[in-house]
Amino acid sequence: MSERKPYPSDLSDEQWALIEPVITAWKDRHRSVSGHQGACAMREIVNAILYQGRTGCQWAYLPHDLPQKSATYYYFAAWRDDGTDQVIHELLRCQVRERARRLEDPTLVVLDTQSVHADAGVPASTTGRDPAKKVPGRKRRLAVDVLGLAIAVTVLAASAHDNAAGITLLDQVAENAGGTVEKALVDQGFKKAVVDHGTALGVDVQIVERNPQDTGFVPQSKRWRVEQTYGILILHRRLVRDYEHHPASSASRVYWAITQVMARRLTGANTPTWREAQAVAA
């Protein structure tokens, strides 16, 4: 394969070294009968997934110098279905927490939901209308630690009540965080059912009430971390709307986006913004 000009979303050598062992191990477990390793380099497959997440392009519009749609989607779907995307995410999450001098798994998480519009091609059976936010589409649900790193991600129709979201997230938190979580902070959209479910899991769920005197967006202690994470996700254009046919693909996009952020954080890299580009031009 000839050398191509890199895209800003490409993994650097240092970043690829962080996740390459997981991908190599996966390939070793999924050898073809003939022993053929495939025509595409795994690093380029990951670069294609990250490129699409960052730019928001359709599958058919992947650049010609990246692996073609069929190969890229095959690996994206395979890693989504067997949880490899989450394994990579968890590996980097633990490293980021250790670098911040914290234990691998948190004791406190913040739960929140974000309703996003669904694309016209998304099946109506997997979407709904959020009656509070008047958003037709899907509801993205996150549990994050105090660093803003995802502990659990689920996606439902926007019509799903926050109680259903909270219960599912708490179950995932209990499974993913190794039973270390002692407290969860939620907003007023979550009700007593979530508090009771947390108690059954050994998690103290605290509903953080908004000050009635506040107007507009006012950050709340610790809870603002989940809002920050949602803001970071929106920088990935594939997540501005929900374009995915399967809700599981929507969750996978979140994992890949945060994986890219953590890889850059661990290697001290950042993506130049349009503001920085304008400043240089001036």
Q: pLDDT-derived band of residue 194, with 50, 70 and 90 as boundaries?
A: very high
Quote the CA–CA distance of 95 and 89 in Å, as a whole number: 10
Q: Give the mean pLDDT of the chain.
A: 89
Work out the average pLDDT over 70-85: 96
Q: Is the pLDDT of residue 65 over 90?
A: yes
CA distances from 270 to 10, 15, 17, 227, 259 (A): 12, 12, 17, 20, 13
Q: What's the token pair of residue 54?
A: 């960052």
Residue 33: per-residue pLDDT: 63
Sign of the dihedral through C-alpha 155, 156, 157, 160: negative
pLDDT digits (tens, 9 = 90+) for 243-252: 999 999 999 9
Residue 217: per-residue pLDDT: 55
Please report, for the chain, the start and end positions of each structural domain, with discontinuous segments joined by +: 106-242
pLDDT digits (tens, 9 = 90+) for 2-48: 578 999 999 999 999 999 999 999 999 988 765 556 668 999 999 99
Q: pLDDT-derived band of residue 161, with 50, 70 and 90 as boundaries?
A: confident
User: Which of 22-36, 91-105, 137-151 bottoms out in mean pLDDT, i.e. has the lowest?
Assistant: 22-36
Residue 36: per-residue pLDDT: 58
Residue 1: per-residue pLDDT: 44
pLDDT digits (tens, 9 = 90+) for 215-232: 555 556 678 889 899 999
Q: Is the pLDDT of residue 113 over 60?
A: yes
Residues belonging to the chain: 282
Find tokens 């990246």 and name the residue. 66
Q: pLDDT-derived band of residue 212, with 50, 70 and 90 as boundaries?
A: low
Residue 164: per-residue pLDDT: 87
Find tokens 């392009």 and name the residue. 57
Quote the CA–CA distance of 28 and 31 in Å, as a whole number: 6
Q: Is the pLDDT of residue 92 over 80?
A: yes
pLDDT digits (tens, 9 = 90+) for 164-193: 889 999 999 999 887 899 999 998 878 889
Find tokens 């008047």 and name the residue. 134
Query: Does domain 106-242 correspond to CATH entry 3.30.420.10?
Result: yes
